[in-house]
Chains A and B, each alone.
Chain A
Amino acid sequence: MNSLALYLLRRLAAAVLVVLVVSFLIFCCLYLAPGSPEQAILGPQQATPEALATIRSDFGLDDSFVLQYWHFLDGLLHLDLGRSFQTGESVGSGITSRLGVTVPLALGGFLVACVLGIGGGIIAAQRRGRMSDRALGTLGVVAASTPAYASGVLFLYVFGVALGWFPVSGSGDGLSDRAFHLVLPIVTLGLVGAASMFRRTRVAVVSALERDDVAFARARGLSSREVLQKYVLRHAMVMIATSAGVILIFMLAGAAVVESTFDLDGVGSYLLTSINDKDLPSVQGIAVVTTALVVLINLAMDLLYAVIDPRIQRGAAAD
């Protein structure tokens, strides 16, 4: 489909533009940040003016704003995110070395959110108005209103300290140990996402159930399961997919909070440490990578709609 390719190209160009704009905004933000970078690099120790000058030229801090941004962009093109002020190591490798914690955490949380949220949402919608629906709804409200760090600390206390089932901190070594260490963080992260997924799924399924075409399908004798699969879920799918995208993006922010709550050495806690240490290149690098991810997820979602709904492909206005 030619127009689809064209559409794709346009969206991709827009995505690149967004990443550029955001990277520029972040750059401005960092440029405006209070305190001088070289102080951040050296830390609290006293430094000779010569040492400061060396650092300034080393990190190109004497260049003009535009030149500095240009260097940064040039690096981006070569997938070089610069060097950390703090450790001097490359920001790129700093991120990749921590993906081993963050990726399983975010994906695990996403999975928990989808399974609990979608499953619960469908059940609640089918039993709407009944006790089980209300109970699930109240649970959903509790999960949605509890900040991730709060449930994290609570879980740590209950399952880590009081019951002693799970480790209290650290990322663990080796696959099974790492998985074991990640159970509580994943559940913590997943629950917040599940609450939002639950609410949106329930609304989507309830409105799908009230549709005429669903009533008509039932009137023609389709079984409950067929009606659910071919009609109700098909309608609810667009909204569920949107929510899934939103929640996947949420997982990025959530991971930072959860990593810091559970003392995990992931990209999120790397970001927070870098912020505290005024390690600007690291903050910038992580922010740009995250922006790119957010934009990509949004793009994938838009493509997904076109697959789900034939009306979009055929260029007709919805309904």
Chain B
Amino acid sequence: MPADITEPLLCVSGLTVRSTTGTTLVSGVDLELREGEALAIVGESGSGKSLTARSIIGLVPTGLHAAGSIRFRGEEILDLPERRRARLRGAQISMILQDPFTMLHPMRRCGAVITETLRTATGSRLRKDERRREAVRRLAEVGIHDERVAGQYPFELSGGMRQRVAIAAALAQNPQVLIADEPSTALDVTTQKEVLDLLVDLQRSRGMALILITHDLRVAFSVCQQVNVFYAGGVSEVGPAEELEAAPAHPYTLGLLLAEPPADRRVRDLVNIAGTVPTPDAVAGRCAFAARCDWATDVCRSIAPRLVDTEDHRRVACVRTDEIAGEMRETRERYETVDVAPSLAAVGTGLVRARGLQVTYPPRSRRDAPMQALRGIDIDIGPGESVGIVGESGSGKTTLGRCLTGLATPSGGSLEIDGTDAIAYAACSRDERRKLRSAVQMVFQDPYSSLNPSRTVGAALGEALAVRYGKDVGPERIGALLDRVGLPAGYAERRPVALSGGERQRVAIARAIALEPRLLICDEPVSALDVSVQAQVLTVLRDVREELGLAYLFITHDLAVVRQIADRIYVMNKGEVVESGPTHEVLEAPQHPYTQRLVASVPGNDAGTPSAIAS
């Protein structure tokens, strides 16, 4: 294939993806990937990052249409007929998806999946023994040295192992480019780092180009040399990772950087970007970020900025880059130096007291053993205290929260909430149950299913208030409740469909505090939200606690988030509490090996210290 020597390996220009109904999802994306380079595409949901990747590999979902230009080794590939396009896939450009639990065929053995695309020089399939040998070799390359895995089915492997198998399968034909779409997002924190490290190793040892799609700037910086920031279907900033990290030139990049709560300290004011990500069509003909930008002027609102080359090989889509650089630097310094000591509450007791709490789920099938979700844990929460529970999936942290709300029934131990024995909600008297309900309320993870889609916000809140007051209440109470979580009273008329994720979560918080509980359980309340919105919800949670003086049990896998909200944390692993103490002590000097591993796996936390102070 003759290629111009200056031409990059892959060159995307003016890529636009529209649906058949005319909605724009990606508008005019430009992208350059050089041989052997690791490039990140960073963006929140709706930024068009995944569709860009899908367009590159030629797998745009039905009902969507990609236009523009994608050149691979100088050859235009966007309009290639499907047959020729299929020949590029796997052999030249390959891809792994987000979820290792759905990516592998559940009824095919791992070895078969890895070797199924391999052909001999003459195009025939490999012999059985060759396939076996290849499978073992490929598995070894991704760090699986157990040969038996080749003969196993995906459901017999852990998530991290599955993702490794998927990587081996994607790389079977030694492609030049690997696209990894959020490869670590569905995995546990500690496994995330392993998979990302593996990708970096493979990219370097194979001299392969990597396109990493992620919503997490820290992940992008730790893996890639070149970072593309996407916003609302377009590119807002491109540059080398270190420079972008040191001095973002686009206000959105700065916003994203600041919105990521730091894991190493507690800040007084969490930075959030007001509003939500717009659709590309809503911001056509102007700067997509203008509505949320502190520096926006009339110019920003009347023309769409183009990506312009600045110094240091960077490209920024902002007309005011040069004028605002100084102010942006100041803003950053202001936020990054502010450090608030944690409000040190004494170890609280009295509100919740759990001793030897156990939960056993019945086996899923006859052959399985019963599942021990909680293996006898002790928890104390004092009135007005904010307690964090940190752990990965399967740690039992969610089960603990469900026990406190009566959604799960403990099989052993003792549990006392606000002086009432709460070990068996079902066995409680009516009054006791009512007392427990008004003592403990909960906010759930998924904002999209936290609210009944067929009822208005007002109806949802009114229902909760009716429980509190024993009768239906007027709209002014509902309005006051909405105001408390920073939403206008007019939202009472809306249905959940008309709300963004962050707004829904605020309504869910309002519903929970309608009963004026003494303890609010927050089960991963921000993990399903975009970074720029997370801080909005965390701020609401902080404010609510300050005003109402209620206690929190904050369940999360995210150390940075827990640092911002909890005074004291429990670290859980496999149904047990492995470590507990004041948040800053546990996170700064972890004692238990598991906690140490957890802390070390925070992206960008290689040496145990943050790498953000480079400028």
The answer for the CA separation of A67 and B72 in the assembled complex, in Å, is 85
Contact status B170-A222, CB under 8 Å? no
Return chain B residues, CB-CB under 8 Å to A311.
106-107, 153, 155
In the complex, which of the residues B106, B156, B365 contacts A213, with contact meaning CB atoms closer than 8 Å?
Answer: B106
Mask for A192-217, Cβ within 8 A of B = 1, else 0?
00000000000000000001110111
Contact status B365-A316, CB under 8 Å? yes
Q: Does A230 contact B (CB under 8 A)?
A: yes
Binds A, one of B93-101, B243-251, B287-295, B522-530: B93-101
Contact status A234-B96, CB under 8 Å? no
Contact status B155-A213, CB under 8 Å? no
Contact status B153-A219, CB under 8 Å? no
- Top 4 A-B residue pairs of the complex, sorted by shortest distance between their CB atoms: A221-B90, A212-B102, A221-B89, A219-B95
Can you add 8 more A-B contacts, CB < 8 Å, to A213-B106, A314-B153?
A: A216-B96, A218-B86, A220-B169, A224-B86, A234-B108, A310-B153, A311-B107, A315-B368
Contact status A213-B104, CB under 8 Å? yes
In the complex, which of the residues B82, B107, B155, B170 contacts A220, with contact meaning CB atoms closer than 8 Å?
Answer: B170
A219 touching B106 in the complex, CB below 8 Å, given contacts A311-B153, A314-B153, A317-B364: no
Return chain B residues, CB-CB under 8 Å to A219.
57, 59, 89-90, 94-97, 170
Report, as a range, how many residues of chain A touch the other chain: 20 to 34
Q: Does B142 contact A (CB under 8 A)?
A: no
Q: Does A129 contact B (CB under 8 A)?
A: yes
Q: Does A309 contact B (CB under 8 A)?
A: yes
Contact status B90-A222, CB under 8 Å? yes
Q: Does A231 contact B (CB under 8 A)?
A: yes
Return chain B residues, CB-CB under 8 Å to A308.
107
The answer for the CA separation of A253 and B173 in the assembled complex, in Å, is 53
Q: Does B148 contact A (CB under 8 A)?
A: no
Return chain A residues, CB-CB under 8 Å to B99.
212
The answer for the CA separation of A149 and B250 in the assembled complex, in Å, is 72
Contact status B117-A222, CB under 8 Å? yes
The answer for the CA separation of A219 and B166 in the assembled complex, in Å, is 11
Return chain B residues, CB-CB under 8 Å to A129.
62-63
Return chain A residues, CB-CB under 8 Å to B126.
none
Q: Does A128 contact B (CB under 8 A)?
A: yes
Return chain B residues, CB-CB under 8 Å to A211.
102
Q: Does B428 contact A (CB under 8 A)?
A: no
A216 touching B173 in the complex, CB below 8 Å, given contacts A211-B102, A221-B87, A319-B106: no
In the complex, which of the residues A218, A315, A319 contacts B89, with contact meaning CB atoms closer than 8 Å?
Answer: A218
Contact status B97-A215, CB under 8 Å? yes
Chain A, 156-179, CB within 8 A of any chain B CB: none
| 12 residue pairs from A and B, CB less than 8 Å apart | A213-B106, A216-B95, A216-B169, A217-B105, A218-B59, A219-B59, A221-B91, A222-B86, A223-B86, A234-B108, A311-B153, A311-B155
Q: Does A226 contact B (CB under 8 A)?
A: yes
Contact status A213-B90, CB under 8 Å? no
Q: Please give the distance in Å from B82's CB to the nearest CB on chain A.
A: 8
Contact status B62-A213, CB under 8 Å? no
The answer for the CA separation of A226 and B368 in the assembled complex, in Å, is 35
Return chain B residues, CB-CB under 8 Å to A315.
365-368
Contact status B59-A234, CB under 8 Å? no
The answer for the CA separation of A232 and B94 in the assembled complex, in Å, is 20
Mask for A299-319, Cβ within 8 A of B = 1, else 0?
000000000111100111101
Contact status A220-B94, CB under 8 Å? yes
Contact status B365-A216, CB under 8 Å? no
Return chain B residues, CB-CB under 8 Å to A224.
82, 86
A234 touching B367 in the complex, CB below 8 Å, given contacts A220-B90, A221-B173: no
Return chain A residues, CB-CB under 8 Å to B106.
213, 311, 319
Chain A, 108-122, CB within 8 A of any chain B CB: none
Instruction: Find the residue from A213, A221, A310, A315 having the highest chain B CB count within 10 A.
Output: A221
Contact status B86-A310, CB under 8 Å? no
Mask for B99-134, Cβ within 8 A of A = 1, else 0?
100111111100000001100000000000000000
Contact status A230-B116, CB under 8 Å? yes
Chain B, 164-183, CB within 8 A of any chain A CB: 166, 169-170, 172-173
Chain A residue nearest to B109 (CB atoms) is A310
Chain B, 208-230, CB within 8 A of any chain A CB: none
Q: Does B88 contact A (CB under 8 A)?
A: yes
Q: Please give the distance in Å from A242's CB to the nearest CB on chain B.
A: 16
Return chain A residues, CB-CB under 8 Å to B95.
216, 219-220
Q: Please give the distance in Å from A285's CB to the nearest CB on chain B.
A: 39
Contact status B107-A221, CB under 8 Å? no
Chain B, 434-491, CB within 8 A of any chain A CB: none
A213 touching B88 in the complex, CB below 8 Å, given contacts A219-B95, A221-B173, A315-B366: no
Q: Please give the distance in Å from A130's CB to the nearest CB on chain B.
A: 10
Contact status A212-B62, CB under 8 Å? no
Q: Please give the distance in Å from B66's CB to the nearest CB on chain A.
A: 15
Contact status B107-A309, CB under 8 Å? yes
Chain B, 60-102, CB within 8 A of any chain A CB: 62-63, 82, 86-91, 94-97, 99, 102
Chain B residue nearest to A231 (CB atoms) is B105
A220 touching B172 in the complex, CB below 8 Å, given contacts A310-B107, A310-B153, A316-B155: yes
Q: Please give the distance in Å from B447's CB to the nearest CB on chain A.
A: 23
Contact status A216-B104, CB under 8 Å? yes
Return chain A residues, CB-CB under 8 Å to B104.
213, 216
Return chain B residues, CB-CB under 8 Å to A317.
364-365
A213 touching B94 in the complex, CB below 8 Å, given contacts A219-B89, A221-B89, A223-B86: no
Instruction: Find the residue from B62, B90, B97, B106 having the highest chain A CB count within 10 A.
Output: B106
Return chain A residues, CB-CB under 8 Å to B155.
311, 314, 316, 319
Chain A residue nearest to B154 (CB atoms) is A213
The answer for the CA separation of A226 and B119 in the assembled complex, in Å, is 13
Contact status A213-B103, CB under 8 Å? yes
Contact status A230-B88, CB under 8 Å? no
Return chain A residues, CB-CB under 8 Å to B91.
221
Return chain B residues, CB-CB under 8 Å to A235.
107
Q: Please give the distance in Å from A60's CB to the nearest CB on chain B.
A: 46
Q: Please give the distance in Å from B600's CB to the nearest CB on chain A.
A: 30
Return chain A residues, CB-CB under 8 Å to B170.
216, 219-220
Chain A residue nearest to B20 (CB atoms) is A129
Return chain B residues, CB-CB under 8 Å to A212.
97, 99, 102-103
Return chain A residues, CB-CB under 8 Å to B90.
219-222
Q: Please give the distance in Å from A123's CB to the nearest CB on chain B.
A: 15
Chain A residue nearest to B166 (CB atoms) is A216
Return chain B residues, CB-CB under 8 Å to A309.
107
Contact status B89-A216, CB under 8 Å? no
Chain B, 34-77, CB within 8 A of any chain A CB: 57, 59, 62-63
Q: Please give the distance in Å from A282's CB to the nearest CB on chain B.
A: 44
Chain B residue nearest to A209 (CB atoms) is B62
Q: Please give the distance in Å from A208's CB to the nearest CB on chain B.
A: 10
Return chain A residues, CB-CB under 8 Å to B96.
216, 219
Q: Please give the distance in Å from A72's CB to the nearest CB on chain B.
A: 37
Mask for A124-167, Cβ within 8 A of B = 1, else 0?
00001100000000000000000000000000000000000000
Q: Please give the distance in Å from B1's CB to the nearest CB on chain A.
A: 17
Q: Please give the distance in Å from B30's CB to the nearest CB on chain A.
A: 23
Q: Please give the distance in Å from A250's CB to the nearest CB on chain B.
A: 28
Return chain A residues, CB-CB under 8 Å to B88.
221
Contact status B153-A216, CB under 8 Å? no
The answer for the CA separation of A222 and B173 in the assembled complex, in Å, is 11
Return chain B residues, CB-CB under 8 Å to A223.
86
In the complex, which of the residues A216, A231, A310, A314 contacts B97, with contact meaning CB atoms closer than 8 Å?
Answer: A216
The answer for the CA separation of A224 and B86 in the assembled complex, in Å, is 8
The answer for the CA separation of A231 and B95 in the assembled complex, in Å, is 17
Instruction: Find the residue from A211, A212, A311 having the highest chain B CB count within 10 A.
Output: A212
The answer for the CA separation of A319 and B103 in the assembled complex, in Å, is 12
Q: Please give the distance in Å from A315's CB to the nearest CB on chain B.
A: 4
